[in-house]
Amino acid sequence: MNESLGNPRPMSALGRVLAAPAMDEFVHRLRKGEPPEDQQRAIDELLPEGKRAFEFGVRFATLTSLSAGVAGFGLLSNSGAVVIGAMLLAPLMTPIAAGAAALVLAENRRFVRALGLVTVGTVVAIAVGWFVAWMSATSFTEIGEFPTEVESRTFPGLLDLGVAITAGAAAGYILPRRSVTSALPGVGISVALVPPLTVVGIVARSGLWDEARNAFLLFLTNLAAITFAVAVMLLLAGFRPHQDAGRRLARRMSITTLAVLAVAAPLTIHTFSVIEAQRLDQAVREAAEEWDDEVRIVDLSTAITSSGATVELSVSGNRSIQPVWLLAQTIHERYEGPVELRLRFQTEELFVSVAR
């Protein structure tokens, strides 16, 4: 950064890196020429200005509420089809894409407006989720009691980040090209924005704050990844700041990248947790077979904490139960870590009756 940009504040180490000449050069090297006018217009029209802005805001809030409502009922009734319907209704992608475009074009006012709309959408969707859960008198003490459509959105992993980045790139490709807007619903479905927010409201109503935080993390993942990917695609399409703001652009893009990395960290931890949980699951199944190859696993749930693994296992068998300590020991050997096992054993009995 130099004085001609009119910022006399001392720079941090990070600022110096972001504003380094090499970074500027990289950004300028990307410049291949102006994008076609119709593409620029398509991006400009994402967020209407003036009088139409109010109408747009009302329409946005209404559609977000309705979408969250549909998502809420779909999630609680465990209907994937209904949840997909809600994704198609959801208008959140527009302000996020507009925000990414404003980032690339260095249009601060538009960026703030886009951010404001995203915030409104976020609050509305969470509130509707809470309301739907209240209205349907849904309150559980454990996340496992919720329908799988809800539960699956409380454990985001790195794969979700991958989906969000590729779908965001698709959005960045589609948005300036009116000829391929028919593909936009696909993007909406790939990176569902409203359902995770609705899940935040639903599980928060049951006081499950950890799960609510995870669902919100999934939303933040989508938000950061889409912003990043759309911005990159617009840059590649030739979009640049209208005025002499190329250097600020470099810094903005770097901040977006950092945001993506920031959400990637907890997602990495989550992903490793998933792998560890699968390893434990496998160890339990193999140990159960070694323990008694005639038992059938009816239900299995596991949890891993800092003090070890907890295994809740229900099995059924047609002969008397084998020593349970032996099963715990076998799981311990295979999992190679402390295990607490809660076993429920059901005896299967055969009844034959005839009436002639």
The site for another protein (CB under 8 A) is made up of: 307-308, 314, 316, 321, 323-325, 327-329, 331-332, 336-353
Q: How far apart are CA 155 and CA 202, in angstroms?
A: 15
Distances in whole angstroms, Cα of residue 80 to Cα of each of 83, 86, 192, 201? 5, 10, 12, 18
Rounded to a whole number of angstroms, the minimum distance from the CB of residue 134 to another protein is: 23
C-beta of 258 vs 326, nearer to another protein: 326
Rounded to a whole number of angstroms, the minimum distance from the CB of residue 206 to another protein is: 19
C-beta of 37 vs 351, nearer to another protein: 351
Q: How far apart are CA 86 and CA 202, in angstroms?
A: 15
Rounded to a whole number of angstroms, the minimum distance from the CB of residue 308 to another protein is: 6
**Under 8 Å between Cβ of 107 and 230:** no
Q: How far apart are CA 77 and CA 150, in angstroms?
A: 10
**Under 8 Å between Cβ of 252 and 246:** no
Rounded to a whole number of angstroms, the minimum distance from the CB of residue 130 to another protein is: 24
Using alpha carbons, select from 143, 155, 239, 244 the residue that is nearest to residue 196.
155
Rounded to a whole number of angstroms, the minimum distance from the CB of residue 346 to another protein is: 5
C-beta of 243 vs 346, nearer to another protein: 346
Residues in the chain: 356
End-to-end CA distance of the chain, in Å?
A: 96
Q: How far apart are CA 146 and CA 132, in angstroms?
A: 14
